[in-house]
Amino acid sequence: MKETHKNHTELMRSIAFNFLTIIAETTLSVAVIGAIFAGDEKITYHYFFLPIVLSVAYMLPCLPIYLKENMSVKQVIFQRILELIIIEAGTLFVSHLLIGEKLGIVGYIVVGASVLIFDILSYITQYIYEKSKAEKINKIISNMRGKR
């Protein structure tokens, strides 16, 4: 019973940490987009809630990772593609909301490409980190087996 509670607590902590990280990233994105491109546009109070709403939308495709521990490679790839589509759509929506028609189609293509590039870089970084972590764990297990 305690193990289930511990796993549930760890799961909730992981979801909360990722949600807060996404809120921070989204807030930074909205702030940068607004600071660079908004110009003299009137900023209203509802912009405060944009990062929170977007973060909820961005977290939805991540739920399978938290709910299902052993995902196949195809499932992870599908989840990542869905996550990327939602992030692209959300970023373009907020860009249009903050900037309007100032950027034009080329500007929105550049915004979409930059989101794609930075997401791919974050996936590569995460892969490298998790691979090195797995190699360390495998090395520890090998050393423990060698001591027997």
For the chain, give every domain's residue range.
2-147
144 confidence band (pLDDT: 50, 70, 90):
confident
What confidence score (pLDDT) does residue 139 get?
87
What confidence score (pLDDT) does residue 15 get?
78
37 within 8 A of 103, measured Cβ to Cβ: yes
What confidence score (pLDDT) does residue 82 get?
84
39 confidence band (pLDDT: 50, 70, 90):
low
Does 2 score more than 60 pLDDT? no
28-32 average pLDDT score: 70
116 confidence band (pLDDT: 50, 70, 90):
confident
Q: How far is Cα of residue 128 from the mean position of the Cα atoms in its chain?
A: 16
As a whole number, the mean pLDDT across the chain is: 77
5 confidence band (pLDDT: 50, 70, 90):
low
What confidence score (pLDDT) does residue 60 get?
81
Q: How far is Cα of residue 35 from the mean position of the Cα atoms in its chain?
A: 22
CA-based diameter of the chain, in Å? 71
38-54 average pLDDT score: 72
90-113 average pLDDT score: 79
21-26 average pLDDT score: 75
Give, as one character, the DSSP assignment of residue 39.
T
16 confidence band (pLDDT: 50, 70, 90):
confident
CA pair distance 96, 41, nearest whole angstrom:
12
What per-residue string of b and e applies to 42-62 under the rule 16 or more CB within 10 Å gives b? eeeeeeeebbeebbebbbebb
CA pair distance 126, 33, nearest whole angstrom:
25
